[in-house]
Structure 1
Amino acid sequence: MTHADGPATAAARPETAWPLENVLFSAALAARRMPWADLPARTLGLDALTRDGLTDRLMAHLRSGRAGRPVRLRTPFGAFLVPLTRADAESLLAGADGAGALGTPSALAADGRRSGLSPHVVPAGTWEAPAQGGAGGLGAQVAEHLAAVTGARRQDGTLDPDRWQAGMLRLSRRVVLGAEAAEDTLLSEMVSAAAGAAGGRAYEARAAAVRRRMAPYLAGPEPGCLAGRLAAGDRGVPELHLAVAHALSLVSAATAVSALKALALLGTDADACGTRAGVTGAAPSAGEPAGQVLDRAADRAMDLALEQYPPLSAVVYPLRAPFGAQGLAIGAGEEILYDPALLGPRTEDGRTDPAWALCGNPSGCAVAGFAARVGREVVRAAAGAVRPVVPPARFAVGCPPDAGDSRAVAAPLASYGARGRAGADRLDRLDRHAESLSACAADAGWNGSEAGERFRTVLLAHADRCARAAAEVRSAARWLAD
């Protein structure tokens, strides 16, 4: 079998996939939005026909045809250079990061939308002690905030996801910035908005708003919180507020998202303590205290949640400079797609590196390790206080979607691309509207009050939506026209 780019050489460019391979890969990306599609195959025991089964076969085909080296694939979401194994992906990205070739990464959602990631800012020599040293009252803080969540369960005993998220965000602010920040819900909203805007036009304005909001807490932080430890070791570092914002973003994701998924994994275990090998990784040893068994099960569940259901399900890494790896010359402007769901489970026995699940920095992130540690503490405390149980799913049997107007289905895709180009003037107006909203948000009159900062956040969110909508319509028009 001969491919378009010919045999690889030391200076070869990455090989381009065949059109049919592009179609199948695009279908694999789109299939994750349709979890119900697996139901017939799983009912019949035909795992090879599930989304995961078909994806595994596609990736095996790509690996066998390219000697395992990355291949360039074209999808409706963009053209990506796709590594074909986790080890190759992480090695490729770590090497590119070490060479300074990586640009600003972005998260890729299942529907193709991109969003920014919390910028990786970690002052040197500050994370080792918090990540590995004493807890500094962490257990007590977790117990206090968790009690408020579990005590407000519904009448049937189930957790309210909104209450869980609010409680864990409160805990995250307490752990990172101290007791005074625990009730500052606007701070979490602003940190999240700034992270989502990373790499975009609104990031600087949102980062400045976070700096202003965080300044009182950093002026004299509690010694026991993470910000206090960082300030004691790096007082006066200009990036301190960014490092603290990064920590708050990751701890929030670990506690509000991943810890809840870990409890669901524990809740699916038939044993009251979650001690089956599928969760703990090994059966309990004779005479092992029940508390240790439960803690081990909780830790394993958190690792599995980060591994199988990472908050960063797929990340796109642009190359801003040429880079050589695996015998390939990779040019600037390429975008590397790291998507664990396409690459299958890890084969090595050990804990997942939380940097890949929470931060996305290829060279590691110590604060991601700290965030995962806080998440494990939450799962341990929750599993010790109540028995996690997942209620049975309820399915409503309905009719399949209407096929719609056959004439519309038969219309050539290129015609939609032409329509998108014809509406260029409207897209330009949308861009100008986004710029005017951003300019309004930049006005200093919004400073100085919580209401003003909230209005600024709303304005910037509207500006982002307008700019993103215009960019996505242009991208779709180009793709359909081609």
Structure 2
Amino acid sequence: MNATDTTTAPGRPALAWPLENTLVSAALAAQRISWIDAPARALGLKPFTRQQLTRQALAQVRRSTSGRPARVRTAFGSFLMPLSVDDACALIAQAEEAGARGTVASLTPEGRRTTLTAHAASARPLSALRTRVRSAAAEEAAELLAVRQADDTLPRAEWCAVTRRLARRIVLGDGGADDTLVSDILEATLGSANSAEHSERAAALRRRIDPYVPAGTSAEAEDVEAAALEHALEVVTRALDETVPQALALVTVQPLMPATDRAELGVAEALRRYPPLAATVHEITAPFAWRGTAVEAGTEILCATAWLRDLDEGEEGTPGPEDPSVSLCAAPAPCAAAELAVLAATELVRALTRHAEPVVRTPRLDPAALPATLPAASLGLALVQTGPVPVADTDTAERETFDASAGPAAGQSPAHYAALASASARRLEEHARRLAECARQPGWNRDAFGEQCRMRLLAHAERCARAATDARRAAEWLLN
């Protein structure tokens, strides 16, 4: 080597000690045991909660590696793990710049990987969709309030049916509002068991998305626009399905939040405490170097951003304000789809709390000791009426109002409710017709998954037709 050559070849990442591997692996496994914190808190042993144990394990690895990313071996796989939020973002950004980042998956507490849609930027800014977010959120909020049970709670299935329709309206336009199949295919694609299955389902998703690509898009830009729609639909759906219930729950334990800001603050706090992408795995497809560290092809980078944020808070105090959209997209760059998702979630919370007050029936939330995890599916969330609610009725230009707290027929004639039932029957019949028409398309003949989708379409069409018949009979009974 030339005596004047001071360059140094990149070195291998540091290896975590065997005990550290065990601690990190245990921390990963403990995330799925929700009851583990209760005994520790009851006994006043806060250091033995999942949050504190995880923080201690990561702090130990950070000390032993001087803060550099470390290679850790866990029950869920062997990973290169950055040990600060800044390093995680910089490492992934370098991989992106080097063209070395492959598939990205979310790592669930059970260790299951959910492949994410690729981050894609639309040529038309998705922020331009703001104009329809507020009105769509208000209409779908009315629908959510209308499907509450007698105790004011919302069944999870009903919640997701409405919020996914809202996501489709926002991202695909009103023409995609009733296209439940696109959401079904998206869910199936994200839950693919292997790469071959994922490729098949991703192709089916692309075919289903293509009709919603804006007219006039050039042939070269079609793929980019379709990918942007897929990514936006995934991110917005996740925010509405998961983050909005969490935000409503947090609103109930933070009564001092200003009324004008509580929707925005509730969503931001939910994304900070319970980021939908708490841990992501990034596949590296080509070697590259980052700050003197060689990253080989085949490496999987584990970005446990929720843990790292908590670790940074524990060591440096509470951080300053942070863009909440970073909790929704795994890309190292700003994401317009994630910003749109935050807006949609905020507007839905605002629309719901305008007419009802959220109440958490289960679990019991202690403002001084909020749970480390709060899955939306675990929430017994009620929306207690506080004022008149607009009726979402697409058959009329104007919106009527009713006060659900006054009883089913207070102040209105049977003819009024007969008209509402008849309008519902017409919408259900039209929905059934569109589903059956879609099922007749030849594209479902290509493989077994397509045939399965066709059968689900026909079954759903049949249910809608039966419901339309029941609604029409109810209307006739009210008029006689």
* TM-score, normalization by structure 2: 0.70
CA shift at 1:450, angstroms? 8.5
Match for residue 126 of structure 1 among 118, 124, 127: 124
Gaps (5+ residues) in structure 2? 1-7, 366-438, 454-480
1:13 to 1:134, Cα distance in 2 relative to 1, 3 A: closer
Q: Aligned ranges for residues 293-372 of structure 1 at < 5 Å?
A: 293-345=258-310, 347-355=318-326, 357-372=327-342
Q: Which moved more, 1:87-96 or 1:200-209?
A: 200-209
Q: Is the 8 A contact 1:447 1:453 kept in 2?
A: no
State the distance in 2 between where 1:458 and 1:351 align: 45
Match for residue 244 of structure 2 among 259, 265, 271: 259
State the distance in 2 between where 1:447 and 1:338 align: 44
Partner of 2:229 in structure 1? Answer: 244
Match for residue 346 of structure 2 among 376, 379, 387: 376
CA shift at 1:80, angstroms? 0.6
CA shift at 1:158, angstroms? 1.8
AA aligned opposite 2:67: G
SS at match of 1:136: helix
CA shift at 1:192, angstroms? 2.2
Q: Is the 8 A contact 2:288 2:294 kept in 1?
A: yes
State the distance in 2 between where 1:383 and 1:455 align: 44
CA shift at 1:452, angstroms? 5.5
Partner of 2:384 in structure 1? Answer: none
AA aligned opposite 1:12: G
1:138 to 1:342, Cα distance in 2 relative to 1, 3 A: closer
RMSD: 2.7
Q: Which moved more, 1:19-28 or 1:451-460?
A: 451-460
SS at match of 2:359: coil
State the distance in 2 between where 1:18 and 1:211 align: 45
AA aligned opposite 2:221: V
State the distance in 2 between where 1:141 and 1:33 align: 35
AA aligned opposite 2:58: M
AA aligned opposite 2:274: Y
Q: Is the 8 A contact 1:190 1:457 kept in 2?
A: no
1:261 to 1:94, Cα distance in 2 relative to 1, 3 A: same
CA shift at 1:90, angstroms? 1.3
State the distance in 2 between where 1:253 and 1:155 align: 27
State the distance in 2 between where 1:452 and 1:89 align: 44
Q: Is the 8 A contact 1:119 1:198 kept in 2?
A: no
Q: Is the 8 A contact 2:29 2:109 kept in 1?
A: yes
State the distance in 1 between where 2:10 and 2:140 align: 56
CA shift at 1:63, angstroms? 1.2
State the distance in 2 between where 1:244 and 1:393 align: 36
CA shift at 1:175, angstroms? 1.2
Q: Aligned ranges for residues 391-410 of structure 1 at < 5 Å?
A: 391-393=361-363
1:166 to 1:43, Cα distance in 2 relative to 1, 3 A: same
* TM-score, normalization by structure 1: 0.70
CA shift at 1:70, angstroms? 0.7
Q: Is the 8 A contact 1:117 1:196 kept in 2?
A: no
Gaps (5+ residues) in structure 1? 1-8, 219-227, 276-292, 396-445, 461-482
Partner of 2:158 in structure 1? Answer: 163
SS at match of 1:367: helix
State the distance in 2 between where 1:254 and 1:352 align: 15
Match for residue 389 of structure 1 among 350, 353, 359: 359
AA aligned opposite 1:244: L
Q: Is the 8 A contact 1:266 1:389 kept in 2?
A: no
Partner of 2:89 in structure 1? Answer: 90
CA deviations 1:14-51 (Å, max 9, x no partner) are 11111111111110000011121111111122211111
SS at match of 1:194: helix
SS at match of 2:281: strand
Match for residue 192 of structure 1 among 170, 187, 195: 187
AA aligned opposite 1:88: D
SS at match of 1:318: strand
AA aligned opposite 1:142: A
Partner of 1:206 in structure 2? Answer: 201
AA aligned opposite 1:143: A
CA deviations 1:124-183 (Å, max 9, x no partner) are x422xx32x573232111111110111221211122222111100011111112222211
Partner of 1:179 in structure 2? Answer: 174
Q: Is the 8 A contact 2:236 2:341 kept in 1?
A: yes
Q: Is the 8 A contact 2:93 2:332 kept in 1?
A: yes
